């Protein structure tokens, strides 16, 4: 809610006030990752902000004018880089000049999209919509040490193009990366072996080994199914007590779950790309296996800043979603 509100406030020039931020959490209020997003968007649009401190449960945000440039933000912990990027990139969604974000923190952390997801799933769709995006991940960052870095440059084309995802098209294959940092090489190989076995019958499957020696310790696997018209994803992040083999299995099963549905966007992409579809130059259509709480929340937050129409219809084991911006 906060990330989308920040970005759309910057885009539309509409102020907002948030109360009871994370009020039911053990540690209520803004965490460092949320605060980095607030300060990042505020810097991008020269906003006046009240309540921008760790632990604050209230925030007032009065945006100025969005200006492109080169920005560097440090979460200061293993907090999610990608969640900060979600807010900052969307704030610049209407900006044609190139803007670069260099963000330090966690690239692969629980309860947030991994950097691999943005690089291999979300960004390809945004390029289809007319954005020019380049990305580098010089270092991975895992909980609790962090130390990751992601550098993303983005510029908008002449128009924000809609997406027509009525069907997946021909199946092309499965790609993936098994990544480790400061861990033995065999961990990545074991993840890959189990994933390959679980995905048998869905050839070709091409897995890349990404072994690094960085600041923090961690491992995981990211998989994507490529179709003629779309991409679907599944992933798993290492944690204590979960074997390499189990990680490979979990990621493969998550991917197969999406592949077995009729979705043309996976459940995570549906909510992440929705604000861009609401800004597009025409109506968009996609299918998704379920309407997550994140998706439903996105719809309500976007409506507070942008006029658009959304129509949802159950189709077999999926939902057909049509998004029509008010200016089309």
Written as one string, the DSSP assignment of 6-38 is HHHHHHHT--EEE-STTTTSSS-S--HHHHHHH
The residue count for the chain: 328
Q: Which fold has domain 1-158?
A: UDP-n-acetylglucosamine1-carboxyvinyl-transferase; Chain (3.65.10)
Q: Which residues pair with 308 in a beta bridge?
A: 325
pLDDT, tens digit, for every residue of 112-137? 999 999 999 999 999 999 999 999 99
Q: According to the model, what pLDDT value does residue 22 have?
A: 87
Q: According to the model, what pLDDT value does residue 228 have?
A: 97
DSSP for residue 242: -
Mean pLDDT, the chain, rounded, equals 95
Q: According to the model, what pLDDT value does residue 23 have?
A: 83
178-194 average pLDDT score = 96
Distances from the Cα of 153 to the Cα of 18, 88, 318, angstroms: 30, 11, 34
Residues 6 or more apart whose Cβ sits within 8 Å of residue 208: 175, 176, 177, 178
In contact, 121 and 254? CB cutoff 8 Å:
no
3-state helix, strand, coil in the chain (%, to 5): 30, 30, 35
CA separation for the pair 326, 161 (Å, rounded): 15
The residue from 159, 268, 294, 327 that is catalytic is 294
pLDDT, tens digit, for every residue of 225-280? 999 999 999 999 999 899 999 999 999 999 999 999 999 999 999 999 999 999 99
Distances from the Cα of 209 to the Cα of 41, 220, 268, angstroms: 35, 11, 24
In contact, 265 and 167? CB cutoff 8 Å:
no
327 has pLDDT over 80: no
pLDDT band of residue 328 (cuts 50, 70, 90) is low
What's 171-199 look like in SS3? Answer: EEEEEEEEEEECCCHHHHHHHHHHHHHHC
The hierarchical CATH code for the domain 264-328 is 3.30.1370
Positions of CATH 3.30.360.20 in the chain: 171-260
148 has pLDDT over 90: yes
23-28 average pLDDT score = 85
Residue 128 burial class via C-beta count within 10 angstroms: exposed 0-12, middle 13-18, buried 19 and up: middle
pLDDT band of residue 152 (cuts 50, 70, 90) is very high
What does pTM read for this prediction? 0.95
Q: According to the model, what pLDDT value does residue 213 have?
A: 93
pLDDT, tens digit, for every residue of 56-82? 999 999 999 999 999 999 999 899 999
Neighbours of 134 (CB within 10 A): 12
Positions of CATH 3.30.1370 in the chain: 264-328
Lowest average pLDDT, out of 29-38, 147-156, 189-198, 297-306, goes to: 29-38
The hierarchical CATH code for the domain 171-260 is 3.30.360.20
Structure tokens at 141: 């960052």
Neighbours of 241 (CB within 10 A): 6
Task: State whether residue 294 is helix, strand or coil.
Answer: helix
Q: Is 294 a catalytic residue?
A: yes
């Amino acid at each position: 809610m906060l990330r989308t509100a920040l970005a759309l406030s910057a885009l539309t020039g509409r102020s907002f006030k948030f109360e009871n931020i994370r009020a039911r959490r053990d540690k209520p209020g803004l965490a460092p990752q949320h605060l980095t997003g607030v300060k990042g968007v505020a810097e991008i649009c020269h906003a006046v902000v009240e309540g921008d401190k760790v632990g604050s449960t209230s925030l007032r945000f009065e945006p100025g004018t969005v200006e492109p440039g080169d920005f560097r933000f440090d979460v200061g912990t293993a907090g999610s880089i990608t969640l900060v990027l979600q807010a900052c990139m969307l704030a610049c969604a209407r900006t044609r000049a190139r803007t670069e974000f260099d963000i330090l923190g966690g690239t692969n952390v629980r309860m947030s999209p991994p950097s691999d997801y943005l690089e291999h799933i979300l960004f390809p769709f945004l390029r289809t919509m007319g954005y020019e995006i380049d990305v580098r991940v010089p270092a991975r960052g895992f909980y609790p040490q962090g130390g990751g870095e992601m550098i993303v440059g983005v510029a908008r084309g002449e128009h924000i193009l809609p997406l027509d995802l009525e069907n997946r098209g021909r199946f092309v294959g499965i790609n993936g990366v098994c990544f480790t940092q400061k861990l033995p090489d065999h961990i990545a190989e074991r993840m890959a072996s189990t994933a390959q076995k679980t995905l048998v019958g869905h050839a070709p499957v091409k897995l890349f080994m990404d072994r690094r020696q960085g600041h923090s310790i961690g491992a995981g696997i990211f998989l994507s199914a490529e179709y003629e018209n779309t991409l679907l994803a599944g992933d798993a992040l290492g944690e204590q007590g979960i074997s390499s083999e189990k990680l490979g299995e979990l990621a493969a099963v998550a991917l197969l779950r999406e592949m077995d549905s009729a979705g043309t966007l996976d459940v995570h992409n549906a909510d992440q790309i929705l604000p861009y579809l609401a800004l597009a130059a025409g109506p968009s259509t996609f299918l998704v296996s379920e309407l997550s709480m994140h998706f439903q929340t996105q719809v309500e937050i976007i409506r507070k800043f942008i006029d658009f129409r959304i129509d949802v219809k159950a189709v077999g084991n999926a939902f057909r979603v049509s998004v029509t911006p008010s200016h089309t």
